Each structure stands twice: as structure tokens, then as C-alpha cells.
Structure 1
Amino acid sequence: MHIAWIGKKTPFCGNVTYSREMTNGLLDRGHQVSFFHFTNEGQPPALDPGGEGWRAELDRRDVSLPCLYKSQIYTIPAPNAKRLLTQALKELQPDLVHASLTISPIDFVLPEICAELNQPLVATFHPAFDRRRRNIASRTQYLAYQLYAPCLANYHRTIVFSETQREILVKLGVSPQQVVVIPNGVDVDKYAPGPSTLKQRLGLERIFVYQGRVSPEKNLEALLKAWKHAQMGEKCGLLIVGDGPLLNTLKPFYTLQHGIHWLGYIADEQQRIEILRGADVFILPSLIEGLSLSLLEAMACGLAAVATDVGADGEVLADGAGILLDPTRVTAELQTLLPLLRDQREFTQLLGMKARQRVLERYTLSHNINQVEQLYRELCQGSRQHRWV
């Protein structure tokens, strides 16, 4: 099967990881992939395999589309991007188009383009959410769902990561038959417990990790305040893996003196895995989430998981697979919880085992791709039987 995948390569975010892992997995199963991604105007065309973690295969084509601006959240295509996309899809004639939506005007014209070319169209809809809309971030993000729902009704299928996310789109008018729940997944052979020299190198006995953007919606300051007030001791460390707009604001106030290690963005996947294998607890204090791949990766490596009950993360940690925080009381709850996780090692080990078991049961990459392949087959069979309208 030939899949035209429309997604992101940069800047690094969950959408980038999702596109990389899914397309690499499809290639491993013998499918042909043409990868469409946006490149800032003035940059040379991206004809290379795309950097760390991306497969370079003869049956993979990379197609660059010009854009005026792109960030972790949204993309502004160049005026000629629609024409170039249409021309490329017409020439390549894929069996199916799969768009890992990048929050871009292109998302709204894709149904028209694919209807003209008689190509089945699938979306993966990533925006974070909080079903209770308890803060400005979640209420603002809900506007994206309201904006996209009429457009998604014109896609043949939309993949979301949780039942809650599906319910939101259905309430906004997307047909229940068009919305399919296929959760994120991780490679559980790659992300697995294993040896690490992290504690020896840092001189620590207990390690807590946050991995993600250093941005307002991640609510990192609530974690940092709790850590500072909990006085965790010199043998405990909090590792911050990632960067973002709040890095220079927060870093001067929460330092190594408090046991906080700012590692920045780490591009090398093996280094990130080695950090997770050497840590004890993963904490995600977000105000809004979709389904965090960083959370799943940490759980797969056997870390005890602590996250706010937002997005699909509450479903991931339900029934004892981790500890859920109230997003409106993160600092207070963590200030009590952190010393417990520091001192009760058997408890954290048990949580780590439950976390990995939950990933093995529900969130493996292989199961994810199985479901996506089945969806592709159904749509391609329908395409052969009649023209899409």
C-alpha cells in the first residue's frame, strides 16, 4: 500500500514523534510512504531522511512544502503550498492520504483536494484538551475543537487517542462513524527497563524526571515550587528534559542548589532512554494534554508515573497504573506526595511495574499500527468500490 503521510519533522513535539514512529513502522511492514512536511521558505528542499530516528528507505519519498512560519503548535503555509501539494498527490497517486494535522490552513482544504483526486483521507487530530475546561489554557484549546469539527466531518476518518476526545468531536457534530479511537503507542522493546549509569554519574540515590516543553500549558512551575518546598535532600534530583519559552524565566529561580538539573532538549533518543532507565519517578503536571508520548515512554521504561487528570492521561493511569493529580492543586498535592515517593521505594517500584504493564496491555506501537493498517484496508476497499464524494 502506498501512503501519502502529511506531518511534521520540526520543531520537535509529540506530532513529530508520532509521524516518525508511525511512518517507520509502516515501512517496516512493507508499505510505501511519501512523507509531506513543511519547510521554511529560503531553506533548501529536505531530500535527506530527516535526521535522527528517521528511516532512509528506497520506498520512501520526502516531499517538502513551503511555509512562511512553523512552530510546535501551528504552521502557516506559503501561498503556493496548496498547488504544490495537489500536484504532488496527483503525480504520486497514493492509495490513501493520512494527515497528522499540524494546525494549519492546509488542513481545511485537504478534503477538497482528496475528493478531486478520489483519494481516501484520514486525519490524526492531536490538540490537547481537558474535558472539564478548568482553566484558560483548556478553554482556549477547546476553541480548536470547535473550529476543526466542521472540517473533520469532511475527512473519511479521524483518529483520536481517547474516548473522551471522541465524545467531544461527536458532540460538536462529527459523525460517530467517522471518529476512530486509536491511542498513541510506544515501541516496548526499545522503551523498556534496562541498565543505566545515570545515578552514579550524578551522585544521586533517587531521581525524578520531567520531560516536555518548558511552556505555560505544561504547568512546570507548579512542580518546581513543590520540589523546592518539599526539601528533598541532596541525594535526590529533579531532571528537567526539554526547552521552551519559559526556560530562561524559571531556570534562575530553581537551580542545582535545590537539586534541580536543567538538561535542555536532548535530541539523541538513546540518551533519553538511558535517562528514563536510571530514574525512579516521572512527573507530568500539565494543565492540558492529548495523550502524552513522554508519559507512555517513561511508563514503558518502568517508572512510577504521576500526572494530572487532563486529556487522555487520566485514562492511561486509571485503576492504579499511576497517581493522578488535580490540575488545580498540583503544588499542594506534590508537596505532600514527593517525600512519600522518595522514601517508599517498594511503593514506587510497584507503581513502575504497574505502569509498564498498562503500556503492554493498551499502548504498544505494534497494536497501534495494526489498527491503522486495518483502517487503511477498509477505506481503500471502499475507494475501489465507489468514488469518494
Structure 2
Amino acid sequence: MVQIAWLGKKSPFCGNVSYGLSTTEALRQRGHQTHFIHFDTPLSPERGTASLLGNDPDVSLPYLVKSQVYTIPSLGAQRELRDSLERIKPDLVHASLTLSPLDFRLPELCQQLGVPLVATFHPAFDADAGLRNLSAGTQQLSYQLYAPFLARYDRVIVFSKLQADILIKLGVPAKTLSVIPNGVDTARWSPAGPSANALLQKNVRQRLGGERIFLYMGRLVTEKNVEALLRAWRLVSPEGCRLVVVGDGPLTSNLQNQFSDPQILWWGYEPDLDTRIALLQCAEVFLLPSLVEGLSLALLEAMATGTACVATDAGADGEVLAGGAGIVMSTQGVTTQLRTLLPVLRDQPVLTAELGRRARERALERYTIGTNIDAIEKLYRDLLDDFRVAA
């Protein structure tokens, strides 16, 4: 078994947080010892030092700013990280990159400590824009900024071949990159069945109302392009259907004021996992109008619950739904495309049921957490073998 120092995020909630928590939990279930090093308000001197006490495997690092997108650590964070790694003495470090200055210092630090270093690189991308013009857009700039440093990591996990191709074009060695798609627990994220929490399902359904449910779940930020979905919904106003928006973000107030409509339910951020599962189980259609993505965990979760999925081809999402597992839109003209699609989805419940069945089937075939962890374990074994040979 491998002892892993996992550097990542536990808050605020985002795809990176979901990835880190689900992956470390699955690794622990397979017997690996995982120390979760994350940015959090440091404990006071009266309460002791940052975690590594007793049986608590987690370590807190101080920070100045922490958001869903980036983290600015405190001046002492690098020293605390080094001290923590020296105490833990891990077999390897796995950094679920948090868009923090520490990301750039990790290769040198781990080299000094003689510890192999793995990264998971999350930033979203528009594959077409990335391959066409690598200087265009914030996401492409982050790829340009990170590429020289990723080249110094021992292994870098990305979610799709498209993402790997962009990094190779920017100078990251192909041998460094491993394509390992996100995975979800398809036993837990599953269609509602006899084992479902009946009371929870009833409470969620009562709040949703009796209409057929079309659902968006994610952050309310510019790159998610939720405004395009809301414009299309207002234009179509599909009878007997309700749009449910689950999540929050900097655009929440503006969107709520602009699109006040009894057909739209602003659910807000939902911290409870079982409730999020119940919401997707109650939904007939999941909508993801993003301009840029990596590989959306929310999309995979919707697929696993058997919900019909409509998403743009941003990042790897189009690849996930290709071949009939869902409906794939272009990132350009989302409102126009949805204005055509929403009436079809409203009028064809047999179609949405079939799309949901195919989505679940695709998730079981390619995107389970078990398959994901198998690939990560193999990467760990191969990397550690290489280090032993080099030593």
C-alpha cells in the first residue's frame, strides 16, 4: 500500500473539491494511507498545531485568499508544507492543483525531499480555441503559464486526450501526461430505486413541484453560460416544465433579478450529497451550457443517475456524450440551439427516457470511480518503480 500526501482543496465547493474528496476516500478504502493537505484557517496556538496529531491524517495550511478558482497562500504556507511532508515521509505527493503559487514551487520542493510528484491539472478549456489559438482566453493563458512547471512534475493527470494535446503543444513531454477521466460512484449516483430515501425524495419533490424538471447544477459564473440557458427558457416557456437552478456564485443576484419567473426555481447551493442525488433523480433533463470545461463531474453524476443530458462540446464534455449518450451543442449560439431543443425535449418524453438510459450505460462503461482509481493506482506503481530503478 502507498502512503500519499494529497495536496488539494476542501472548500469552497467546486469540481476540484469533489475530485479530491472522492478520490482520497476511494484510495483509503483500498488500503492506502492518505494525508489530505489543504488550505484552511490555521488552528490557534491554544488548540495545537495543524492537524498531524493523534490519528488525524489532515494538515491545514494558512491562506490569504481562497476562492473556487484560485488560492493565495500565506507567507508561512510553504514552510508549513515542507515541515508537514518531512513529518509524513510519504511515498509520493499528489497535488490536485489549486491554481496557487505553491503549485509552481512543488517540483523543486519534492525534488529536494526526494519524493515523486504527481499532479492533476483541472483548468477548463475550449478545445477548439485552444488548438486554434493558444493565446486566446483566460483558460489558454493559464495553460501557457502552467506548462513549463508541469513539465517538471513526474506525472500529470489530465481528463482527456484533447487536454493532453494542448499541453504537449505547449511543451509538456508526452511521457509525463496520463489521461485518466473523472469517475463517479455509480452505485450511489444511480436512478431512484427501492433503496432510495423515500422521505428525502418526497421532501425534494414537494419543493420542486409537480412539473417535469429540467435542471442545471453548478456554479453561477460567466464561463458556465447560464444566462444563455435562461434566455432560451424565457423564449420557449415550455408548458408543464420547470427549470431548477442548483448552485450559486457571483452572478446569482444579477441572474435572479434579470430572470424572475415562476417557471424557474432558484434552489441555491446544496451542500448535502444525498439531496443533490435526489435532485438529479427527480430531473428529467440535465442542462450544461458551458463555454469552457475540463470534464464536468456534475455531467458525469447526471449521467450516472440516468438523467437525459444536454451539454456543449466544451472541454471533454462533448467527447463524453458523443455517439448517442446525450445531446451535444456547440459552445457558439447556445441560446439558439436550446430554443430549438427545449420544445423537442418537452414533447418527446420517450426520447428523454432513452437518452437517460444511454447516459447511465455510458457512465457504467467508462466513467466509474473504480476505473478511475485503478488507473491512478497503476500510475503510482509505475512511478514508484521508476524511482526505485533510478535510485
TM-score by length of 2: 0.92
Q: Is contact 1:138-1:288 (8 Å) kept?
A: no
Structure-to-structure mapping, 1:95-110, within 5 angstroms: 95-110=91-106
SS at match of 1:133: helix
Give CA-to-partner distance per residue, 1:140-195, whole Å, 9 cap, x none.
Answer: 11001101010001000000000000000011101110000000000000000015
For residues 48 and 80 of structure 1, the distance between their equivalents in structure 2, rounded to whole angstroms, comes to 16
1:336-368 Cα offsets, whole Å, 9 max, x none, are 110110110110000001101111111000100
Give 3-state SS (helix, strand or coil) of 2:322's partner: helix
Q: Secondary structure at the match of 1:111?
A: helix
Decide which of 223, 226, 236 is 1:220's aligned counterpart. 226
The Cα of 1:203 is off from its aligned counterpart by 3.1
Greater Cα shift, 376-385 or 2-11: 376-385
CA contact (8 A) 2:50 2:61 kept: no
Residue 209 of structure 1, aligned match among 210, 215, 218 = 215
Mapped partners of 1:18, 1:137: distance in 2 = 28
What's the C-alpha RMSD, in Å, of the aligned pairs?
Answer: 2.2
For 1:6, what is the secondary structure of its paired residue? strand
Find the counterpart in structure 1 of residue 196 from structure 2: none
Change (3 A) 1:336 1:364: same
Alignment partner, residue 55 of structure 1: none
Using the TM superposition, name which of 198-207 and 142-151 deviates more.
198-207
Q: Confirm or deny that 1:18 pairs with 2:19.
A: yes
Who is 1:85 aligned against?
81
| Superposition deviation, residue 74 in structure 1 | 0.5
Partners of 1:271 and 1:137 in 2: how far apart? 41
AA aligned to 2:222 is P
1:118-148 deviation digits (Å, cap 9, x = unpaired)? 1010000000000122999972110011010
**Deviation (angstroms), 1:48:** 8.1
Aligned residues of 1:279 and 1:303 also touching (Cα < 8 A): yes
Work out the CA distance in 2 between the residues paired with 1:65 and 1:269: 26
In the alignment, which of 254, 257, 270 is matched to residue 252 of structure 1? Answer: 257
Correspondence for 1:285: 289
Please give the alpha-carbon distance, in whole angstroms, between the structure 1 residues aligned to 2:61 and 2:48: 9
- Residue in structure 1 matched with residue 177 of structure 2 by the alignment: 179
Q: State the SS of the aligned residue for 2:229.
A: helix
Give 3-state SS (helix, strand or coil) of 1:73's partner: coil
How much does 1:69 deviate? Answer: 0.7
1:83 CA displacement = 1.2
Distance 1:193 1:46, change over 3 A: farther
More displaced stretch, 223-232 vs 248-257: 248-257
CA contact under 8 A between 1:288 and 1:310: conserved in structure 2? yes
SS at match of 1:240: strand
- Which of 318, 327, 331 pairs up with 1:323? 327
Choose from 51, 61, 68 the match for 1:65.
61
Equivalent residue for 1:123, pick from 107, 119, 125: 119
SS in 2 for 1:99: strand
Aligned to 1:370: 374
Identity among equivalent positions (%) equals 54
**In the alignment, does 2:362 pair up with 1:351?**
no
- The 1:46/1:142 distance shift into structure 2, 3 A limit, reads farther
Question: Could you tell me how far 1:201 is from its partner in structure 2?
Answer: 4.8
Structure 2 residue 166 is matched with structure 1 residue 161: no
CA shift, 1:46, in A, is 9.6
SS in 2 for 1:319: coil
SS of 1:12's partner is coil
TM-superposed deviation, 1:386? 2.2
Point out where structure 2 has 5 or more consecutive residues left out of the alignment. Answer: 194-200
SS in 1 for 2:6: strand
Unaligned runs of 5+ in 1: 50-57
Quick check: 1:46–1:62 contact (8 Å CA) kept in 2? Answer: no
Residue deviations 1:76-100 (CA, integer Å, cap 9, x gap): 1111111111111112100010000
Tell me the residue number matched to 2:71. Answer: 75
Which position in structure 2 is the counterpart of 1:239?
244
1:295 aligned partner = 299
Report matched runs for 1:22-41 at 5 Å.
22-40=23-41
Secondary structure in structure 2 of the residue aligned to 1:307: strand
User: Cα distance, 1:199 vs. partner?
Assistant: 4.4
SS at match of 1:16: helix
Segment of structure 1 superposing worse, 166-175 or 130-139? 130-139
Q: Is the 8 A contact 2:215 2:244 kept in 1?
A: yes
